[in-house]
Structure 1
């Protein structure tokens, strides 16, 4: 993954994590937690999707091709939102557990 793809996935993952946290208010991790988990999810998910061939590398896609960049944004955002939702639900389930 090139640096542009990494940055695009990180930023879009952070935005996706923030959006997921806002949508799941009672299951969120707080603004900073949503952003950090979304950032990690965006980077990891974008790298995974690129490895399996779902996303084109932005450096390989004729410079900064708009389609490749849009794929990176969507992939990173969705991965960040999914990871934030999973971590938020797991955190709340553990908090409700008698113990």
Structure 2
């Protein structure tokens, strides 16, 4: 992977992580770095799922791929928040 691909993955991960965090109700007890990591993983996994479903490449914006990525980020953030909440 080239440096431009890594930078785009980080930027997309930040956006996906923040959007996923906004979807989850209440205050989350995870840090910004964890949010970004969850966003990056959700973006990569969501792209793979969208490709498998055949909805990754469309003529316009890839709304379905974005929705899959945001949903995965929200699930990841909610799951991590629950595990962090139990430890405290």
Bin of the TM-score, shorter chain as denominator length: 0.5 to 0.7
2:85 is equivalent to residue 90 of structure 1: no
Q: Which has the larger radius of gyration?
A: 1
Distance 2:51 2:77 in 1: 26
Tell me the number of residue pairs that the alignment of Structure 1 and Structure 2 aligns.
82
Distance 2:72 2:29 in 1: 11
Aligned partner of residue 27 in structure 2, secondary structure: helix
For the 8 Å contact 1:16–1:81, the answer to whether it is kept is yes
Deviating beyond 6 angstroms after TM superposition, the runs of 4 or more aligned structure 1 residues are none
Q: Residue by residue, what CA displacement relative to the aligned partner does 1:16-36 show, whole Å, maximum 9, x if unpaired?
A: 212222454612532111111
TM-score (normalizing by structure 2): 0.61
Q: Which runs of 5+ in 2 are unaligned?
A: none
Structure 1 vs Structure 2 CA RMSD: 3.4
> Residue 41 of structure 1 aligns with which residue?
42
2:25 is equivalent to residue 17 of structure 1: no
